[in-house]
Structure 1
Amino acid sequence: MAVTYADLRFAEIPLREIKVSEDLAETDAEDGDVMYENITGPNQPRVRTAPPAPPTGPDKYLRTGFWALVPLPTLILLLLSLLFLASTIGLTVTYIELSHQFHHLNWSLTQDLQRKEEELSAGKRNLERIWEEKEKMVQEKIHLNASLRECDRRSAGEREDLVWGINHLNTSLLECERRDKESTDKKKEAEERLKDLCPDDWILFGRKCLWFTNEKINWWKCDQYCKSEEGNLIVVQKNDLRLQDFLFNKTEDSWVGKEFNRNWYQRWKWPDQYENDWGKCWHIKDRNLKQESCSETKKCVCEKNLVHVSVKKYKSDDSPQLKLWGTSYHCWKND
């Protein structure tokens, strides 16, 4: 079995012009490196292969592989194209990024501008509203000033009227005080004169003289006792609040009596406002008229009327007539 192998050794050999073929041996001897080729077969002689002729020009090197196929200008153009393509791609990427940033910035600026325009519009509306309110307040101020001037004018007139009214009222009050003093003085004089009309220990009240007992007895004894003093047991009408208040301040509980009925029967009876229950008598307590058994014991209040009447004849009648507190009386002479 035969094995084929080859030992290859390459070296950069400067290419020069070979003048004659005889110089090849000397050139190989000077270079020291040659290319050998193993050939199959044990006895086949080794053949030296001459290298290709170098390109024209002195001192030119041999180019191998891709570079041997591509001319130098084409390579330069290719490199320039690659550089241009890379630059174009970079510029395109930069343009895209800048365009994206520009669009984002433009969108942000548009949003800010719209927001600012809205704020400006709102501020303008607020300013218009404030201006309208200001105009309204100015009109209200003018109207208020006019109203205040009218009010001052009216107040001045009313003040004058009030001063006149106060002066007139003071004059009237002074006159009333003077008249009241005169009336009080006359009343005191009348009371002083009337005091002499009531017996000792009797109290003057209106047109009556009243006497209060300290002893508590039943109603019949009170009635008899008052008649023995030329008086009667006091009669209290339900609508006579002044007399009720006076009795409330003088006595806590006392009997009251009947009034004289001036009709044809000429008898004593309870006032019409009282409810007449058989076997019960009336008394006054805490300003209220109440019924109770006549046999109970209570204090007595007797009364006497102060009578001041004038008697005169009417027409040719010899019988005199008199009028006392709205009631007419006729008198006849007994034969």
Structure 2
Amino acid sequence: MTQAINQGQQTKQWAVQEKKIDSACPSDWVKFGSSCYLFHDIRSTWIEAKTHCQERAGDLLQIESSEENDFIKAEMSSHRMYGAWIDCNAIDTDGLCYTADHTLTSYESWTTGNPTNNEGNCAMVHNGYWYSTVCTKVKDVLCEMNIIQPQAKPTKSTPLIACYVLDDSGRLHVPL
């Protein structure tokens, strides 16, 4: 535990920085399980959202469990997000959802009557349920980044090296 050098605001700022280091996520991202999530305050089309997330070393959200879905639902509510894109842009005639890299999703939470190709080939999440919609509509952007776990535990002979960038405000960032 680091000792405080000064009283007041600097002490609080130091504690926040220490928490960010422990979380293994870049600043402004939220950790849950083995992923970091960016609940962004922008809205865009599906392809713009995907590009935006990739520019930040992440990708569009891929919900893979009911626990993750519950977490996303709660966080979206707290961030006042009402419909965010998920990484599903190929809904086939059987209602199966494929990601942009043609992988079948491992978890689904479709609302009643969805998916339907009549509504579009992309999917969004709202209040814990998925909806098919047109990819050119404007929705909230929610990015996900997997946390890279070390392959071996650090020992005296196998050091663990991490790279972070300290910005002008004193926050740590993972370089892009």
TM-score (norm 2): 0.54
Cross-structure match for 1:271: 105
- SS of 1:221's equivalent in the other structure is helix
Greater gyration radius: 1
Distance 1:304 1:238 in 2: 16
Match for residue 257 of structure 1 among 87, 100, 115? 87
Q: Check whether the contact 1:236–1:244 (CA below 8 A) recurs between aligned residues.
A: no
Cross-structure match for 1:194: 22
Q: Check whether the contact 1:281–1:293 (CA below 8 A) recurs between aligned residues.
A: yes
Pair 1:307 & 2:137 matched? no
Q: As a proportion of its length, which structure holds more strand?
A: 2
Pair 1:289 & 2:134 matched? no
Q: Check whether the contact 2:88–2:123 (CA below 8 A) recurs between aligned residues.
A: no
**1:233-244 equivalence runs, <5 A:** 233-237=60-64, 239=66, 240-244=69-73
Residue 236 of structure 1 deviates from its aligned partner by 1.8
Match for residue 205 of structure 1 among 19, 32, 40? 32
Residue 258 of structure 1 deviates from its aligned partner by 4.2
TM-score (norm 1): 0.30
Distance change in 2, residues 1:222/1:255 (3 Å): same
* Structure 1 segments unaligned to the other structure (5+ residues): 1-189, 260-266, 313-335
Distance change in 2, residues 1:289/1:305 (3 Å): same
- SS of 2:75's equivalent in the other structure is helix
**1:162-173 equivalence runs, <5 A:** none
Distance 2:54 2:102 in 1: 13
Q: Check whether the contact 1:248–1:287 (CA below 8 A) recurs between aligned residues.
A: no
* Structure 2 segments unaligned to the other structure (5+ residues): 1-17, 90-100, 154-176
Match for residue 48 of structure 2 among 221, 229, 236? 221
Corresponding pairs, count: 115
Residue 206 of structure 1 deviates from its aligned partner by 2.8
Q: For 2:26, give the aligned amino acid.
A: P
Q: Check whether the contact 2:124–2:133 (CA below 8 A) recurs between aligned residues.
A: yes
Q: Check whether the contact 1:270–1:276 (CA below 8 A) recurs between aligned residues.
A: no
Distance 1:191 1:291 in 2: 38
Distance 1:230 1:294 in 2: 22
Runs of 4 or more, structure 1, over 6 Å off, are none
- Specify which structure has the bigger relative contact order, considering alpha-carbon pairs within 8 angstroms and separated by 6 or more residues: 2
Distance 2:77 2:125 in 1: 8
Residue 218 of structure 1 deviates from its aligned partner by 0.3
**Aligned-residue RMSD, C-alpha:** 3.0
1:56-97, Cα deviation, whole Å (9 max, x unpaired):
xxxxxxxxxxxxxxxxxxxxxxxxxxxxxxxxxxxxxxxxxx
Q: For 2:86, give the aligned amino acid.
A: V
- SS of 2:87's equivalent in the other structure is coil
Q: Check whether the contact 1:248–1:285 (CA below 8 A) recurs between aligned residues.
A: no
1:253-301, Cα deviation, whole Å (9 max, x unpaired):
2111149xxxxxxx34351536573842111112211111111001101
Distance 2:52 2:71 in 1: 25
Q: For 2:74, give the aligned amino acid.
A: D
Q: Check whether the contact 1:198–1:209 (CA below 8 A) recurs between aligned residues.
A: yes
